[in-house]
Structure 1
């Protein structure tokens, strides 16, 4: 003979809903806007020559010029990183034998700037340098920015408010939190502005003749989404 099921004490949280302790599932969302904290520039330094050694020497010289220029901004620069380096032979299109027509060299750099007052001038001077391509700025918040925490906390508060409103509409009240699942918390899209300067310049790229760009920081949007499940008291239907 089957034994009767042991009754669940009133108000005890369970992983499923019961008539005495219904389960309520809601979604919490938050959307906050904040000023960016950093800006990143992608820099590509190029060189081309019919002789491999000459191409490498030109690339080394231009790369050093860009590094010295960026480093001259001191504390305004948070990080300066060298990415990929390539030296590629360009072969002639015709002929029986493979012959090198020219050598192409490239160095990719990434700069993170925290002082936006220096960003416009630096971007212009980099863009005016020899065979240098600048991509950016790409505005962003730091991964540990307090804005992300504020968005997550606001999503939790909104979930609790929403759940309480549903419960109150049924003449009930919340009892316990059963589950809290973080779905997504990420910054909104960042829009880069590309700028290229293939013309050759001398010295620091003609800084006197190249006015600083007027760059307006792009507001960053941070989202947080979560699912929350609660138990509540017996509704008054």
Structure 2
């Protein structure tokens, strides 16, 4: 047995005295990104588990200290998964560990894209460190999202007025307004994966790498609504 609370709302229908008009409003904004996100993978390897873990801890601390040195430019910094995995010898009797592999994953979000280019090259210059990204985005609280939704609503109202005007009548009331889709910007990677030096022997310790020149792409933010109005009955 269903109760009134369980009964789905009835879909509005037009009548000759109150014709129903359904329109869609949509908008697309192109804006500059507000933040850039990079992923940093720190690796260590060795024959001894404890030595590998100590090495991983040291490398991870170096990465975190470097990122933190950029101060307020870094809006968010987080350490993700940490793993120490043994690699077994492929042959021989019994299972023996050949070497240990350690990994930590760090995510950083920056608001200064000039500093981002410098930080990226300095991170890539570290041993056994991989950089992924950057992925460009807007903040979840960005006013751009609200602006897109407002423009979509205005577009729906304007379109409804145009249809009513074409019939020689006017709108009477708003029956329903539905958000049918607000799409945020999809982060785009300027480079998918940057290979880094695996040995410090090839690096020049007294040379600071040139900052990577990163050109942020324009992001598209889309919003779409569906609106239903009643109209004053037109004289057809």
TM-score normalised by the chain length of structure 2: 0.90
Q: 1:155 aligns with which of 152, 157, 178?
A: 152
Secondary structure at 1:117's aligned position in 2? helix
* Alpha-carbon offset, residue 57 of structure 1: 1.4
**Residues 181 and 226, structure 1, Cα contact 8 Å, conserved in 2:** yes
Give the counterpart of 1:47 among 39, 44, 48.
Answer: 44
Q: Tell me what 2:61 maps to.
A: 64
In structure 2, relative to structure 1, the CA distance for the partners of 1:175 and 1:84 (3 Å cut) is same
Specify the alignment match of 1:142 in structure 2. 139
1:184, distance to aligned residue in structure 2 (A): 1.4
SS of residue in 2 equivalent to 1:105: strand
1:18 is matched with which residue: 7, 12, 15? 15
1:179 corresponds to 2:209? no
Contact 1:179 1:228 in 2 (8 A): yes
The worse-fitting range, judged by mean Cα deviation, of 104-113 and 89-98 is: 89-98
Distance 1:89 1:131 in 2: 17
Matched, 1:96 2:100: no
Residues 119-167 of structure 1, C-alpha deviation per residue, up to 9 Å, x if partnerless? 1100000011110000111111000100000000000000001111111
User: 1:73 maps to which residue?
Assistant: 70
Note if contact 2:137-2:186 (Cα within 8 Å) is conserved in structure 1.
Answer: no
TM-score calculated relative to the size of structure 1: 0.89
Q: Describe how 1:162-173 pairs up with structure 2 within 5 A.
A: 162-173=159-170
Q: C-alpha distance in 1, partners of 2:204/2:63?
A: 10
Residue 205 of structure 1: how far off its partner (Å) = 8.4
**1:57-101 deviation per Cα after TM superposition (whole angstroms, max 9, x unaligned):** 111111111111111111111111101001111112223311111
Deviations 1:172-217 (A, max 9, x none): 1111110001111122322112212142338x98583411011111
Give structure 1 stretches of 5+ with no counterpart.
1-13
Instruction: Give the Å deviation of 1:236.
Output: 2.0
CA contact (8 A) 2:172 2:232 kept: yes
Which residue in 2 is equivalent to 1:234? 233
Instruction: Give the length in aligned residue pairs.
Output: 223
Unmatched segments (≥5 aa) in structure 2: 1-10
Tell me which residue corresponds to 1:86. 83
> What residue number does 2:220 align with?
221
Instruction: Report runs of 4+ in structure 1 exceeding 4 Å deviation.
Output: 204-207
Give, in angstroms, the shift of residue 56 of structure 1. Answer: 0.8
| Structure 1 residues 148 and 207, CA gap change in structure 2 (3 angstroms) | farther
